[in-house]
Amino acid sequence: MLSQMIRAGRLDRSFYESLLFDNYATGNAVVMIIIAGLLPQVGRIPQVGAFSLVAAAFAVLASILRAGLVTAAVWAASVYIFKRHGNPRATFRMVGFANVAFFPLVLTGRPGPLWLVALLITAVWFFLALRTVARAQFEFDHPENSFVAATGLLGWYLSIILF
């Protein structure tokens, strides 16, 4: 799984294309989503006990819902706006591995100036990962893949507001 994370982080298009038919990778994508959701919460969970378990469970649930909303945005823009065919489960796998872009936020800890820089890096990296997803699954060129990636980024932003 570590090699998959590295390839996803490098935005390796052939890796994302291999996820189209790799049903086993769905579990790894969910694990990736959970890791990306839990790691930023590690320093914020003050206690060990019932409260920390609830906070951790909420972080896991929120990260899965965020990935679902981003997946829905990418898939819907591709299918309904650009009239392409695609498998939503494969889109979910790809978006799950695109969550490797959230690791810079883990390194910064609490909000501050460094955190804002990490947030900018994360947003750009996630946008580029979503462009790779759009190219790999739906074979979009520029500017269509940028539009689809922007809808996914908008879905991420909406998920932050909602969850």
Per-residue pLDDT tens over the stretch 9-20: 999 999 999 999
Asked if residues 74 and 95 have their Cβ atoms less than 8 Å apart, the reply is: yes
- The structural domain count of the chain equals 1
Contact residues for 151 (Cβ-Cβ < 8 A; gap 6+): 73, 74, 76, 77
Predicted local confidence at residue 93, as pLDDT: 95
Poorest-pLDDT segment among 41-50, 60-69, 149-158:
41-50
Q: In this structure, what token pair is assigned to residue 117?
A: 């820089």
**Domain limits for position 19:** 2-162
Predicted local confidence at residue 162, as pLDDT: 86
Query: Is the bond preceding 113 in cis, omega lying within 30 degrees of 0?
Result: no
Per-residue pLDDT tens over the stretch 112-163: 888 899 889 999 999 999 999 999 999 999 899 999 999 999 999 999 888 7
Contact residues for 62 (Cβ-Cβ < 8 A; gap 6+): 37, 159, 163
Q: In this structure, what token pair is assigned to residue 85?
A: 């065919």
CA distances (Å), origin 45, targets 20, 54, 137, 161, 163: 36, 10, 37, 20, 17
- Per cent of the chain over pLDDT 90 is 64
Closest CA to 129 of 88, 98, 106, 87: 98
Reported confidence tier of residue 36, pLDDT bands at 50, 70, 90: confident
Distance of CA 116 to the CA centre of its chain: 18
In whole angstroms, how large is the CA radius of gyration of the chain?
15
Q: pTM for the whole thing?
A: 0.88
How much is the mean pLDDT over the chain? 89
Q: Assess whether pLDDT exceeds 70 at residue 28.
A: yes
Q: Does residue 70 or residue 43 have the better pLDDT?
A: 70
